[in-house]
Amino acid sequence: MMLASRAHLPFTYHDPPIPRVLAELRSSIQPAPPSRVKTTHVAALDALAATHLRDTQSPTISLCGRALPLLYKIVSTLASPPHSKALFVLDLEGRFDAACLDCEAEDLAHVYVQHPARSSPERLRSLVDEAERFMLYDDDARGSRHREWWGTMVVGGLAAGDVTAGWKGWLRVERSAVPSFALGVSVEEVWGQREQRQRAADEKGWTASSEWGAFEFADGRA
């Protein structure tokens, strides 16, 4: 029968090329690069973070300089309506002040802050994992179960976290510049204008800058 003869057709096996085998092996043991960065709902920051992710494949928003004002803005925006997220902050430096958040009390209750001792990178990654387990399973976080957990922010550490604020980062935060004094201004005039210039600096806000772009922002949530 014709059908039986098909079982005797010759079959030739070819070894796949070695480079292809190695590529497939690497892809099987290495995680795929992150496909997205977490949205902070601070529009200018999200645009920069998306560009940074595209160029570096790193989803972490890492802040340096005077980073706390931007961190407060992110937390306040995420915790407040309409986003109403739950967040965890690991503060290794004891500098994060929840009183600086622009949140109502009922929203502030869903921002969890821990002050662990300074740790090795391995221990810090473990703390971030523990924070996730705490938010998802611990009875002390039960009051936030109806909210979506956004993620973890780390102050003073670079090894882990969705947002980090430390000595090194791709996005530097500084006070926005105030125009300098004109040439020929006396010391007395400079001294007399110091309060006015301080008010101007406070009203000017902050500048976040990087090689991917920059933006200005004011205190308070977006």
d(CA 96, CA 111): 12
User: What would the pLDDT profile of 123-142 be if each residue is shown by its tens digit?
Assistant: 888 888 888 888 888 888 88
Q: What is the pLDDT of residue 132?
A: 85
Residue 198 has a pLDDT of 60
Spatial separation of the C-alpha atoms in residues 28 and 5, rounded to whole Å: 39
- If one counts every other C-beta atom within 10 angstroms of the C-beta of residue 214, the result is 13
Closest to 86 in 3D by CA, of 52, 131, 32: 131
Quote the pTM value: 0.74
CA 179 to CA 140: how far, in whole Å?
Answer: 50
Q: What is the pLDDT of residue 209?
A: 96
- From the first residue on, what is the mean pLDDT of each consecutive set of 10 residues in the chain (222 residues)? 37 44 40 66 96 94 96 97 95 92 95 84 83 86 91 85 93 81 56 61 82 93 80
Nearest-angstrom CA–CA distance, 177 and 200? 10
How far apart (Å, rounded) are the C-alpha atoms in residues 30 and 19? 16
For the chain, the structural domain boundaries read: 33-175+206-217
Per-residue pLDDT at 220: 86
